[in-house]
Amino acid sequence: MPTKAKYRFGKNSVVRVAPIPSGSIAADGTVTKPVTGNFKVLCLHNSVSVGLENGTIDLENFCTGGKTVSVRDGTQQGSLEIANVTWVEDDLAVKILEDAAFSGSETGGWVYFEVQPLGSGTGKPIYDLIVDVLSWRLTTPAKGTITVEHQNLSVLEGPTRGVQA
């Protein structure tokens, strides 16, 4: 009998976002995760991508025979991309992102993201990210829904892998 391939449907994913108040950022830059009640579900997007890239440094020495060898340097850079979001003026998650983009303070644009690829539930995977919302663009078409783009989301920390409690 053939082996059935494993797969998951993205429709079960949950993306939640919470503001990071300045009082929850320590002097050393450490951020305290917001309480559960401060997270709002970002349900008006159609895709999300979370990624991680390890930094490298090139070495050329006698041990490599003069060849250039790339080795990890211990740095990591996370990425987060969300597709256009349907704009609704009273959607709290959309408002959190808009407020972050419009903030004029150094840390006012910081938000906390939770990406739950298999949905909410004990033991399911979760990826936490601290993100600076650097851009916001509202598009009002002659036909269709009003959307918002957040093309420049700077990941400050994460993604941090975990499981939901």
Question: C-alpha angle 16/83/29, rounded to 5°?
Answer: 50
Average model confidence (pLDDT) for the chain? 90
pLDDT in tens, 107-142: 788 999 999 999 899 999 999 999 999 999 999 999
- Which of 139, 122, 125, 132 shows the shortest CA–CA distance to 157? 132
Residue 67 is predicted with a pLDDT of 86
133-154: average pLDDT: 92
Residue 126 is predicted with a pLDDT of 96
Residue 63 is predicted with a pLDDT of 81
**Maximum Cα interatomic distance, the chain, rounded to a whole number of Å:** 65
Q: What are phi and psi of 83, to 5 degrees?
A: -70, 170
pTM, whole model, 2 decimals? 0.86
